[in-house]
Amino acid sequence: MTNATSAAGLALIQQYEGFRAEPTPLPDGNWLVGYSHVRIGDAGDTVTREEADLALALDLAPFERLVNARVTRTRNQSQFDALVSFAFSVGAEAFEQSQVLRRVNAGDFVAAACAMDAWRKGDVSGETVIVDALVRRRAAEKAMFLRDLACDAAAPVFNRAKLDSAASVLGAPVKYAPAPDVKSAPVVQKMPAPAQRIVEILKSEPATEELLLTQVVANDVGEADDEIVTAHAKPVARTLDSVREATRRAYSEQSETVAKRGFFSWFKRGDGAAYHSVKPELQPDHRIRDMRRRAGRGLDLPRFDFSGSFENVGLVALLVFGFGLIALGGSLLFSGSGGAVEIAGAAALVTPGLAATLMAAFGLWRGSQKNAVY
């Protein structure tokens, strides 16, 4: 259904836009005349009310098309008039992103009318303040929007009114500013198309807009080339030298703790937790080592550490013992007659020998990974 603004809607808009017969200069060099009609360039002549009515109708046409296109719910004439007045006041972009439009399309008309009350601030002398004229205009638009809706009786005997804290905060007593003088209105510089598109994307969600407006770093925090500043509500600055010293000290403590571990402690837990339980966040990044090996030396075999520690001596002994069992089992198998007894004896020797050899080799490999220097 396509609507047009009625005489009642036009009267409301004219009342709050105000009539100016004489062209009034704007800060950007243009002129304001009639009911907030902007003349580009020359001031031109004075206007009569009939001429101002015609200019207002032309200015309202895009907003009438906007409301007809974006409001998907069936609405009555008074609702349409109120929405056109609201959109003309806040602008097309703000109207499309407002809770008023969302709640109208959701069919929650009372909530949509209440959402109009939030749009009561304006720029006065460089500050965003509550403007008396906007408070009154929102109240008039809200009343017009709800005028023709069915209303249930709410007798106080059965339904005594209670305080709504949210509404009381919105309507708390504050200093209302008068409407700013036309000549003091700030000149809004038009943003380039890419910047405007980025702003539209960032403001598409209220939570994102609120986060962007939150100041996370204090204004008095100095910036220096040798500082690391974290983006938190309370900034923390540390010099790079202190960070390097803290990292070196933490890694030294880890190395001393790992060196004190007992014999065979590496296989106390099958998932390697005995090794990684000591400051796991400081363990070397093996990906860096692998990239350096591929870039510098190509194929690099694992390096075993035989530095003489008690753990490595035990692992070497276990490795020799395993090889000995394998050799003994092999000699028994190949020197005998190949009977069942010789095969069973060889298997009994070779099986634990293989297990001991694999365990010792794994332990030595883990030790080389632990002591690798990057």
CA distance 291 to 13: 71
Q: The tokens of 152 are what?
A: 């249930």
Average pLDDT, the chain: 75
Q: Is the pTM of this model over 0.75?
A: no
| DSSP-derived 3-state class of residue 127 | strand
**Token pair listed for 312:** 């490595």
- 86 pLDDT more than 70: yes
Average pLDDT over residues 50-77: 95
Q: Are 3 and 75 in contact (CB under 8 A)?
A: yes
* Best CA proximity match to 38, nearest among 53, 18, 59, 54: 59
Which tops the pLDDT comparison, 198 or 317? 317
Helices 7-17, 77-90: inter-axial angle, 10-degree rounding: 30
> Looking at beta carbons, which pairs linking 96-100 to residues 24 or more positions away fall under 8 Å?
96/66, 96/70, 97/203, 97/204
Both tokens of 311, joined, read 């753990």
Distance CA 72, CA 106 (A): 9
Q: Is the pLDDT of residue 267 over 70?
A: no
Residue 160 has pLDDT above 50, yes or no: yes
Is 141 designated active site?
no
> What's the pLDDT at 280?
46
Q: What mean pLDDT do residues 277-299 have?
A: 55
DSSP 328: H
Q: What is the pLDDT of residue 169?
A: 65
Question: Mean pLDDT over residues 50-71, rounded?
Answer: 95
pLDDT of residue 134: 94
Helix or strand run (H / E) with residue 24: strand 20-25
| 314 pLDDT above the threshold of 60 | yes
- Rounded Cα distance, 324 and 290, in Å: 34
**Phi, psi of 39, rounded to the nearest 5 degrees:** -100, 135
**Which helix (H) or strand (E) covers residue 90, if one does?**
helix 77-90
Is residue 267 left, alpha or beta, with left meaning phi > 0 and alpha meaning psi from -120 to 50? Answer: alpha
Structure tokens at 81: 């008039």
Alpha carbon of 88 to those of 19, 50, 151: distances in Å?
Answer: 16, 20, 28
- How far, in Å, CA of 337 to CA of 223, rounded? 85
Q: Which of 81-85, 230-234, 347-351 has the highest mean pLDDT?
A: 81-85
Q: Report which residue type is found at 316.
A: V
| Residue among 315, 316, 345 nearest 329 (CA) | 345
The string of DSSP letters for 188-210 reads: -PPPPHHHHHHHHHHTTSHHHHH
